[in-house]
Amino acid sequence: MVKDIKIEDFDYNLPDERIPRHPLQQRDACKLILSRPDGGVAHRHFNELPSLLPPATLLVCNDTRVINARISFYKTTGSRIEIFLLEPIDPADYVLTFQSRGKCIWNCLVGNLKRWKEGALSIEIRAEGTTTPVTLSARRLNPTAGNAHAIEFTWDNPDVTFASVVDAAGFIPIPPYLKRESEECDNDDYQTVYADAKGSVAAPTAGLHFTPEVFDDLYAHNIEVGKLTLHVGAGTFQPVKSENIGDHPMHTESFSVNRDLIRRLIAQKQAGEPLAAVGTTSVRTLESLPYLGAAIARGDESMHVDQWEAYSAESSSIDTIEALTAIDRWLEKNNKTILTASTAIMIAPGFRWRMVDVMVTNFHQPQSTLLLLVSSFLGERNGLPVWRDLYDEALRNDYRFLSYGDACLLFAPTVAKRVSIDNTVDNTAEDTTDNNADNASDATDTIILPVSKSIGARYLAASYFAGTLPTCPALTDCDDLRVIQRALLALFDMKETGKISGESIDIHASGTAFRFVTAIAASTPGTDCIITGTPRLCSRPMAPMLDVLRKAGAQIESLGENGTGPYRIHGSALKGGEFEIKGDVSSQFISALMLCAPTWENGMSLRFTTPLVSRPYAEMTAQVMRQFGIEVTLHDEGVEVKAGRYVAPARFKVEADWSAAGFFYEAAALSNAKIRIAALVSPSESLQGDAATAGFFEMAGVESTFDDNGATLSEGEEKPDRIEVDLTDNPDLAPAFAVACALSDCEFRFDGVRNLRLKECDRLAAIQTELRKLGYVITVTDDSIEWNGKRCDTTPEAIATYDDHRIAMAFAMAALRLGEIKIADPDVVNKSFEDFWNQLPKIGLHCQRNGNVIILKRVQK
């Protein structure tokens, strides 16, 4: 029986020197030990976490903020009385109690209680925003549970909130095993970077390792992040004093979960995708939800999970998804957006895990309830607890333990049956007979791509129309997506507030944003803005799209020469109807119109007067719109979009960017090396037209092997002497493909590239000019680019990039064949791939910045 488990079985020797008193200076530089479902162990670093999580993982964090819970008062005799805040009594709500002015009551522990016989204690504090001292008084009311007492706090300035009082009077309550007083540095060190909701007296320490860079990398790997709140109580430090855990009273903690996360959890479980929890506090909250839902389904609305409730047959009888759905329905019925409850759940060996598949946690104290939780999660192998082998391995390898120590990434033994775990993480496991071992490389050598800019832009536009843009995940790994998100947030603010701003929205150099945001602004009633950008961007043609918008009823005024940008837009409700457009113009015109058309009164029927080019991008737009509930039909003659309402899906996956992957296909062609790319979806499953990259580079001798975690590129068939292809649907591939072919001495002719003259620069001219510097004479026509093998003298100049990210990335790979190359204005890659230069050492290129030039040199890997 669970209650008969002896706590002494969870003891181990923890030397004091393994407990760091302070954290590492760089949070995410700590060690990370990984325990695989098959029992294998690997040693990593925390900043590698995003590449180690399974695809489509939902990662849930606890956003509680530690309060300055230790407040010291001094009697006239000099005796120190320390009051330790536990939880609010009046107001009982954490938000309301911190907003209290003048008075509140808390449940507290009192240090040196015998010296406080009666009367009030007082101290003077300097609260933020005040010019005179504030007198804070504490009066003991009555004992509560255990050794706690109800303490009434009053202060003599009604303009000061209790939050300000605590900030001024108290100290961060660091764990007692650190064996030191709290210091100024703990105010930052003992908070997660995402801490928000005040209320904890201890940090959710697994979250201390996260940095903004780790979150950026998580988004780049398509790992969604959700947040809940559980206020960690002093019970987290409470040792288990009883012989059996059945005699140990588990502490109760309050938590809250918003309805959006409940729905995401339902979708995650329905899809069979993995759920990861950051820290034991997130674990306890998530695992409490099915039992809370079961209680609600039975008519019990006490909103509390008892210590042993998870082990009762009644509470376990309801299906997990059904239980979560019961919570969602209860919230809807009661017109609530946030679930507030409490839990005393005990998780120990014998517990039925229903929610969490992956856990990020620290190393825990011997004989603690947290170690019981970890033991239950990892289970046994060959009759022995897995946790003990894991901790022994960590101690042998000098891992640091407890709050400011190193981290663990734990997979439940059952998770391998449902999700694929990246083979690259198991370099130290004894069993190396994995069928996909040939596809693995060290995780640190795996290329990490940004999310698809094309899908991301369409997702942001659809989220805007669905009214969920402010809460949708940030897509921040390239300039273009940041520009689009900022612009749409500005429009969203105008729409929601009814504010007529007349302000300028600067699109900078983003062509996608210029087209999309212009159309969206024109389709949003109440907007009054100027859409502007760089001179080059404003000069790019927009007439075909603007003609359709104006015929639909849009009010758009050109502020540039000859009908060009910037554009003054007065948004209005558009009529829509039947229109015509050339199919061989920019596909972004067509996509922008498609995205806006559902909001028009009559929708849109758009006929193509010439054959459609870049059709995969229009197909991608249609696919995204369908996931938001829009009815759209795309065919050779045109596209029909019915008027309708955008509804945000519970989950939306933004793939890794195939356009960016093309440059690493180029690298594979030039180096004949094996290259591993994380999270790249196979062409048969991808929404992206540029997934055709795999097929084009197969002609150039690059073979692709896909698995659930990405792709491995390797040398394929013998390379041909000449390649002739039509790039009408994939013109952006031309720079990488041209450089790869030329430097491989493979003659080529690419047709269907007319639109490359209208990109960030005239790409046809740029490719021709810069390849000549490398000794290749390129012929360019109106709609083709060709090399017939003619060579010329090379020049030592740096490659010019023409403010074009794709030119910079395409020519960077030439260093793999030439040995060295210089690229001017390297920051242009930030438009689509900020981390590009940091990825190149993984394929054997050393990068050295020299002013506004980056020097790339081939090195032996």
**C-alpha–C-alpha distance, residues 235 and 147, integer Å:** 12
* 497 to 406, 451, 646: CA distances (angstroms): 47, 31, 20
**C-alpha–C-alpha distance, residues 103 and 90, integer Å:** 9
> Are the CB atoms for 635 and 618 separated by under 8 Å?
no
Sign of the C-alpha dihedral, residues 349, 354, 359, 361? negative
**C-alpha–C-alpha distance, residues 403 and 253, integer Å:** 19
End-to-end C-alpha distance for the chain, whole angstroms: 55
Sequential DSSP letters for 492-531: HHHHHH-----EEEE-TT-HHHHHHHHHHHHTSTT-EEEE
> Are the CB atoms for 859 and 844 separated by under 8 Å?
yes
- Residue type, position 582, single letter: K
The residues annotated as belonging to the active site are: 732
> Are the CB atoms for 604 and 640 separated by under 8 Å?
yes
**C-alpha–C-alpha distance, residues 148 and 45, integer Å:** 41
> Are the CB atoms for 453 and 480 separated by under 8 Å?
yes
**C-alpha–C-alpha distance, residues 415 and 658, integer Å:** 29
With 0-12 / 13-18 / 19 or more C-beta atoms within 10 angstroms meaning exposed / middle / buried, residue 833 is buried
For residue 269, which phi and psi values (nearest 5 degrees)? Answer: -70, -40
* 578 to 58, 152, 641, 796: CA distances (angstroms): 42, 71, 10, 55
DSSP 3-state of 314: helix
Nearest to 354, CA basis, from 263, 422, 292: 292
* 386 to 40, 263, 381, 395, 555: CA distances (angstroms): 10, 33, 6, 15, 67
For residue 283, which phi and psi values (nearest 5 degrees)? Answer: -60, -50
Please enumerate in sequence order all residues whose Cβ is within 8 A of that of 245, keeping only pairs 6 or more positions apart, or say none: 2, 3, 5, 6, 7, 346, 348, 369, 372
- Residue type, position 856, single letter: L
Other C-beta atoms closer than 10 Å to the C-beta of 113 total 15
Nearest to 22, CA basis, from 403, 279, 395, 391: 403
Q: Are strands 358-362 and 407-411 parallel, antiparallel or unpaired?
A: antiparallel
**C-alpha–C-alpha distance, residues 280 and 273, integer Å:** 20
- Between CA 759 and CA 766, with CA 763 as vertex, the angle to 5 degrees is 140
Q: Are strands 407-411 and 31-35 parallel, antiparallel or unpaired?
A: parallel
Nearest to 328, CA basis, from 278, 261, 281: 261
**C-alpha–C-alpha distance, residues 539 and 545, integer Å:** 15
Pull the structure tokens for residue 154.
């009053």
What kind and span of H or E run contains 73? strand 70-74
